[in-house]
C-alpha cells in the first residue's frame, strides 16, 4: 500500500519552508553588505575593447593581419586589496571606478614559434593601460638621444589619452642591448595618489619606438611585506590542516583498497562517477580553450600546444579527477552504508522508483532548506565578524567564464566536484572513521568538521582563522544532521551552494541565455523534485522504499585468515669458487676502476668547497647587517631577474641554467665550461644571508669556496630610507670604486645598463 504524507511530514515541510523563507529574507536584504563587490564601470567588453586595443599597434605601423589573437580579463589583485584595506571599500570603489585602473582586457597578438608578439591592455572604461611589444633582443633599431627618446614616449602618452601636464618625470634609465639602446621613463601622477601611493606611467623606448607601457598603482613595499606576513598565517594554518587532511586521505585510500578487495565497493556507482568526471572536466577544459590561447607559449609549436592541451588537460585532467573521486566516493560510501544501514543508499538513487519514494522527496525539501539556511548563515557570520574587525576582499564583478561559449558547464563542475569530494570524504568517510577511533560521535563530528573547515584557511580573509572558523562551524552544524538526515540532503545542499555562488555573475549580467542556463545548471534537482511531486499525486502516495536502504546492499564479512604451518626452506648446495670466475671478477673490478679514474669531465667538477659555512660567514661579516645570518650552497651561477619583486630594478634570482645550456650548445666543451665557472663566473658558491625578521633591509653575500673571496654582494633596502639624490655620473663613480673590493678590473667592463 502506498504511503501518504503524515502530519509529522507536513510539519517538517512547514518548518523547512519557514527556515527557507526567513533565510532568503536575510540573504536578499544583507548579502551585498556581507559580501560587497568591487566597483568598476564596464563600458567595454571583450569584443568592443578589441578595436581600441588594435589601434595602438596600428599607430606604430605594425601589421597584425597574420597574427593570432587571444584575450582575457585581468587585473592587479594586490593593488585592489591595498586600496580596500587602506582606504575602506567605499572610498576604494570610488577611486577604482573613476581614477585608478585596476582591471583591464588583456589582448594578445602572436605567431607560433616567433618571439615578437604584441599585447595591449584596455580598461573597461576604454583607456589604454598597458602595451608590450616583445622585440627580439638582437634586433637592430635606430639609436636616438635621450631627449628624442623622451619626446617619443611623451608623444605615445598623448596619443593614448594620458594627461601629460599632470605627470612628473621621477626616473629614467637606459640599457645597452647588442644592436640598440633601451630607455625607460617613469612618471608619477600629480593629482592621483591612491592611499598615498604613486600612480605610475612607465614607458620603455627601444631605439626610436615605444616597446612597452604600463599604468599601475605602485603599492608601497612595506605594505606588501606586512600583507605577506598576514597571509603567511593563512598559509601556515592551511599547511597544518593539510597534514591532517592528508592523513584522512591516506586512510580513505587504505579503506578503499581493503573494501575493494573484499567486494564491498559498488563498482557501478564508481563507474558512473568516473564517466561524469571525465565528461565535466573535459568539457570545462575545452570550454576554456580560448582563455588558454591567451597564455600560449610561442616557443611551442601549435600542434604540440594542442596535443598537450588535449592529452594533459582534457583527457589527463579528466582521468586524474575521475580516479581521485572514485577513491573518495568508494571509501566514503562503504563506511556510510555500514554505519547507517537505515538510510538511503546512494547507489539505489539512480532507479526510477527512487523518485516515488517519500524519503527521497523529503531529502529534496530538507536539502533546499539547508541551501537557504547556509547562505543566510554565511551572511550573518560575516556581518557579525565584521563588527569584530574581520575583513574579506571584495568580489571582482567579472569572471573569465563569461567569455566562454558554454559558461554553464563551469557552474555544473563547480557544484559537482566539491560536493562529491568533500561530502564523501569529510562526512561519509571521516565521521564514521573518527567515531571508530575516538569512540565518540561528538568528537568525530567536531574533528571532521574543523579539518574540512580549515582546509579553506588559505583564503585571504582576515584574521587568518576566520574562514576556517566559518566553514568549520558549518561542518559541525551539518555533521549532526548527517546521522538523522543521511547524506542525500547534504549532497544536494553542497552542490547547490557552490553552483549558485558560481552562477551569480551569470544571473547579474541579465542576458537571457546566461540566466536560463545558470538557473538550470545551479538548480537541477528541482526537476526530480517536481517529478517526485507528480508521482505522489498520480500514485496517491509514495511507494514503499525499504529496498532503497543501505541495508539492502549487504556488507561483506571480513575474511578470516587460515593459519599456515611454516615450511622449512631447502637451500641448494653451495657452488665452489672456480679460478676462472675469480679471474673474471678481478678483471671486471679493474676495468671499473679504470673507467672511474678516466671518466670524462662533468659540470659537477665545479663543486669544490674548500671552506666551511662558518668560514663563509666570517668572510662575509663586513657585509652583514641583520640579527640572523644563514649560509647555503648555491647551484650554478646566479642570474639577475629584472622583474623580481624585491625592489625596483629586480634582484638576484636562481641558477641561470639557460645561460649554461647556451654556452654548451654553442660549442664550449665541458672542461672549458668548468674552468669558466670556477674562475670567471664563480659558480657553486656559499650564499650568506643576513637579515632581521619582518625587516626589509638585508644583505646577500656570495663567497667563492675555492679562493675564500667575496665575489657577489647585494643589499636590499627599504624604499622609504632617506638618502642623497645622485646623478648618473655620481652613481657610476661609486659603482666603479666598489670593483677593487671584489677583485674586478673596471677597465675590462662595458656599461650595459643603468637604472
Residue-wise pLDDT for 380-420, tens only, equals: 999 999 999 899 888 877 777 777 888 899 999 999 999 99
pLDDT at 506: 86
pLDDT at 670: 83
Poorest-confidence range of 247-251, 492-496, 582-586, 713-717?
Answer: 713-717
Residue 577 lies in a domain: no
pLDDT at 17: 95
The per-residue pLDDT for range 165-222, each reduced to its tens digit, is 999 999 888 888 888 999 999 999 999 999 999 999 999 999 999 999 999 999 998 8
Segments forming the whole domain that contains residue 292 = 7-34+224-552
Residue finishing a domain among 529, 552, 575: 552
Q: How far apart are CA 224 and CA 235, in angstroms?
A: 16
Contact 280, 413 (CB under 8 A): yes
Q: Which parts of 515-663 are beta strand (E)?
A: 628-633, 638-641, 651-655
DSSP structure string for 20-45: HHHHHHHHHHHHHHHSPBPP------
The per-residue pLDDT for range 66-92, each reduced to its tens digit, is 999 989 999 999 999 999 999 988 888
Packed helices 430-438 and 221-262: angle between N→C axes, nearest 10 degrees: 80
Assess whether 237 and 163 both reside in one domain.
Answer: no
Statement: residue 638 has pLDDT above 80: no
The per-residue pLDDT for range 299-356, each reduced to its tens digit, is 888 889 999 999 999 999 999 999 999 999 999 999 999 999 999 999 998 888 889 9
Place of cell 573535459: 282
pLDDT at 554: 86
Q: How far apart are CA 674 and CA 671, in angstroms?
A: 5
Assess whether 335 and 457 both reside in one domain.
Answer: yes
Most confident of 42-51, 265-274, 676-685: 265-274
The per-residue pLDDT for range 691-719, each reduced to its tens digit, is 888 888 888 888 888 888 888 888 888 77
pLDDT at 642: 57
Statement: residue 120 has pLDDT above 90: yes
Residue finishing a domain among 176, 197, 219: 219
pLDDT at 341: 92
* Cβ within 8 Å of residue 676, ≥6 positions away: 663, 668
pLDDT at 636: 61
b/e code 635-644 from CB counts within 10 Å (16+ = b): ebbbeeeeee
Statement: residue 637 has pLDDT above 70: no
CB neighbours of residue 17 within 10 Å: 14
Taken as a whole, the chain contains a residue count of 755
Closest C-alpha among 105, 100, 119, 97 to residue 49: 105
Place of cell 667563492: 704
The CA radius of gyration of the chain, in Å to the nearest whole number, is 33
- The pLDDT confidence band at residue 449, using thresholds 50, 70 and 90, is very high
Residue 571 lies in a domain: no
| φ and ψ of 189, to 5 deg | -70, 140
Place of cell 575593447: 49
Residue 675 lies in a domain: yes
Residue finishing a domain among 219, 253, 273: 219
Nine-digit cell at 648?
625596483
Assess whether 213 and 232 both reside in one domain.
Answer: no
Assess whether 82 and 230 both reside in one domain.
Answer: no
Q: How far apart are CA 323 and CA 318, in angstroms?
A: 9
The per-residue pLDDT for range 233-280, each reduced to its tens digit, is 999 999 999 999 999 999 999 999 999 999 899 999 999 999 999 999
Q: How far apart are CA 378 and CA 254, in angstroms?
A: 35
What percent of the chain is modeled with pLDDT above 70?
96
- The pLDDT confidence band at residue 601, using thresholds 50, 70 and 90, is confident
Cα-based distances in Å from 624 to 337, 651, 700, 701, 735: 63, 18, 8, 8, 19
Q: What is the DSSP letter of 542?
A: B
Place of cell 676462472: 580
Give the CA count within 13 Å in the CB-facing half-sphere of 55: 13
Most confident of 533-542, 573-582, 676-685: 533-542
Region 717-746 average pLDDT: 78
Contact 396, 75 (CB under 8 A): yes
Contact 218, 200 (CB under 8 A): yes
Q: State how many domains the chain has.
A: 3
Residue 532 lies in a domain: yes
Quick check: bond before 463 cis, omega within 30? yes
Assess whether 342 and 489 both reside in one domain.
Answer: yes
Residue 423 lies in a domain: yes
Give the CA count within 13 Å in the CB-facing half-sphere of 634: 31
pLDDT at 1: 67
Q: How far apart are CA 413 and CA 321, in angstroms?
A: 11
pLDDT at 311: 93
Residue 318 lies in a domain: yes
- The pLDDT confidence band at residue 508, using thresholds 50, 70 and 90, is confident
Assess whether 119 and 161 both reside in one domain.
Answer: yes
Assess whether 178 and 252 both reside in one domain.
Answer: no
Assess whether 204 and 264 both reside in one domain.
Answer: no
Cα-based distances in Å from 559 to 255, 258, 262: 15, 11, 8
Average pLDDT, the chain: 88
Region 499-512 average pLDDT: 85
Assess whether 205 and 247 both reside in one domain.
Answer: no
Greatest extent of the chain over all pairs of C-alpha atoms, in Å:
103
pLDDT at 724: 82
Assess whether 659 and 743 both reside in one domain.
Answer: yes
Assess whether 265 and 388 both reside in one domain.
Answer: yes
Statement: residue 599 has pLDDT above 80: no
Residue 45 lies in a domain: no
Assess whether 96 and 186 both reside in one domain.
Answer: yes
Residue 579 lies in a domain: no
Amino acid at each position: 500500500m502506498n504511503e501518504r504524507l503524515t502530519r509529522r511530514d507536513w510539519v517538517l515541510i512547514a518548518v523547512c519552508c519557514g527556515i527557507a523563507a526567513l533565510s532568503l529574507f536575510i540573504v536578499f536584504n544583507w548579502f551585498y553588505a556581507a559580501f560587497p563587490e568591487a566597483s568598476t564601470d564596464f563600458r567595454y567588453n571583450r569584443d568592443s575593447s578589441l578595436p581600441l586595443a588594435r589601434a595602438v599597434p596600428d599607430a606604430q605601423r605594425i601589421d597584425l593581419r597574420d597574427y593570432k589573437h587571444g584575450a582575457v580579463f585581468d587585473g592587479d589583485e594586490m593593488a585592489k586589496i591595498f586600496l580596500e584595506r587602506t582606504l575602506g571599500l567605499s572610498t576604494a570603489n570610488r577611486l577604482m571606478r573613476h581614477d585608478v585602473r585596476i582591471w583591464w582586457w588583456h589582448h594578445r597578438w602572436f605567431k607560433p614559434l616567433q618571439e615578437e608578439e604584441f599585447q595591449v591592455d584596455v580598461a573597461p572604461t576604454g583607456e589604454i593601460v598597458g602595451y608590450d611589444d616583445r622585440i627580439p633582443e638582437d634586433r637592430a633599431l635606430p639609436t636616438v638621444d635621450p631627449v628624442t627618446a623622451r619626446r617619443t614616449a611623451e608623444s605615445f602618452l598623448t596619443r593614448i589619452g594620458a594627461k601629460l601636464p599632470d605627470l612628473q618625470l621621477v626616473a629614467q634609465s637606459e640599457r645597452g642591448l647588442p644592436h640598440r639602446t633601451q630607455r625607460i621613463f617613469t612618471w608619477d601622477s600629480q593629482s592621483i595618489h591612491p592611499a598615498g601611493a604613486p600612480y605610475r606611467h612607465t614607458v620603455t623606448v627601444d631605439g626610436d619606438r615605444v616597446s612597452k607601457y604600463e599604468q599601475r598603482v605602485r603599492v608601497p613595499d612595506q605594505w606588501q611585506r606586512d600583507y605577506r606576513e598576514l597571509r603567511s598565517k593563512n598559509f601556515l594554518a592551511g599547511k597544518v590542516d593539510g597534514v591532517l587532511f592528508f592523513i584522512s586521505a591516506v586512510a580513505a585510500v587504505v579503506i578503499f583498497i581493503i573494501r575493494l578487495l573484499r567486494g564491498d565497493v559498488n563498482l557501478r556507482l564508481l563507474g558512473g562517477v568516473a564517466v561524469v568526471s571525465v565528461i565535466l572536466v573535459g568539457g570545462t577544459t575545452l570550454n576554456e580553450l580560448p582563455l588558454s590561447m591567451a597564455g600560449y607559449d610561442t616557443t611551442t609549436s601549435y600542434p604540440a600546444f594542442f596535443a598537450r592541451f588535449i592529452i594533459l588537460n582534457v583527457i589527463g585532467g579528466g582521468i586524474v579527477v575521475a580516479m581521485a573521486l572514485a577513491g573518495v566516493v568508494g571509501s566514503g560510501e562503504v563506511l556510510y552504508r555500514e554505519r547507517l544501514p537505515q538510510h538511503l543508499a546512494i547507489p539505489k538513487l539512480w532507479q526510477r522508483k527512487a523518485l516515488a519514494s517519500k524519503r527521497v522527496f523529503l531529502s529534496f525539501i530538507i536539502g533546499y532548506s539547508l541551501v537557504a539556511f547556509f547562505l543566510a548563515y554565511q551572511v550573518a557570520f560575516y556581518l557579525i565578524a565584521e563588527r569584530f574587525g574581520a575583513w574579506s576582499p571584495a568580489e571582482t564583478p567579472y569572471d573569465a567564464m563569461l567569455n566562454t561559449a558554454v559558461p554553464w558547464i563551469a557552474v555544473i563542475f563547480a557544484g559537482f566536484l566539491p560536493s562529491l569530494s568533500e561530502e564523501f570524504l569529510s562526512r561519509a568517510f571521516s565521521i564514521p572513521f573518527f567515531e571508530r577511533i575516538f569512540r565518540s560521535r561528538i568528537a568525530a563530528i567536531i574533528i571532521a568538521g574543523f579539518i574540512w573547515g580549515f582546509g579553506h584557511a588559505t583564503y585571504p580573509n582576515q584574521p587568518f582563522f576566520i574562514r576556517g572558523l566559518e566553514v568549520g562551524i558549518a561542518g559541525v552544524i551539518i555533521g549532526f544532521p548527517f546521522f538523522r538526515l543521511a547524506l542525500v540532503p547534504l549532497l544536494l545542499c553542497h552542490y547547490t551552494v557552490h553552483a549558485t555562488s558560481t552562477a551569480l555573475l551569470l544571473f547579474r549580467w541579465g542576458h537571457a541565455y546566461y540566466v536560463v542556463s545558470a538557473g538550470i545548471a545551479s538548480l537541477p534537482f528541482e526537476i526530480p523534485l517536481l517529478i517526485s511531486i507528480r508521482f505522489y499525486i498520480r500514485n496517491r502516495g509514495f511507494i514503499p522504499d525499504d529496498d532503497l536502504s543501505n541495508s539492502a546492499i549487504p556488507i561483506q564479512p571480513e575474511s578470516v585468515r587460515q593459519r599456515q604451518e611454516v615450511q622449512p626452506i631447502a637451500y641448494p648446495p653451495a657452488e665452489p669458487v672456480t679460478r676462472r670466475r675469480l679471474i673474471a671478477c678481478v678483471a671486471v673490478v679493474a676495468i671499473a676502476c679504470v673507467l672511474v679514474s678516466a671518466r670524462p669531465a662533468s659540470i659537477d667538477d665545479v663543486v669544490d668547497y674548500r671552506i666551511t659555512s662558518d668560514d663563509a660567514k666570517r668572510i662575509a661579516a663586513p657585509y652583514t647587517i641583520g640579527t640572523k645570518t644563514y649560509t647555503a650552497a648555491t647551484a650554478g651561477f646566479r642570474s639577475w631577474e629584472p622583474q623580481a619583486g624585491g625592489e625596483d630594478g629586480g634582484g638576484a634570482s636562481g641558477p641561470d641554467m639557460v645561460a649554461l645550456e647556451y654556452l654548451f650548445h654553442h660549442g664550449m666543451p665541458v672542461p672549458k665550461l668548468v674552468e669558466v665557472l670556477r674562475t670567471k663566473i664563480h659558480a657553486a658558491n656559499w650564499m650568506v644571508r643576513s637579515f632581521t625578521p619582518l625587516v626589509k633591509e638585508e644583505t646577500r653575500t656570495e663567497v667563492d669556496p675555492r679562493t675564500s673571496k667575496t665575489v657577489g654582494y647585494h643589499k636590499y633596502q627599504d624604499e622609504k630610507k632617506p638618502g642623497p639624490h645622485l646623478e648618473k655620473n655620481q652613481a657610476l663613480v661609486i659603482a666603479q670604486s666598489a670593483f677593487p673590493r671584489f677583485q674586478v678590473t673596471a677597465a675590462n667592463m662595458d656599461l650595459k645598463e643603468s637604472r
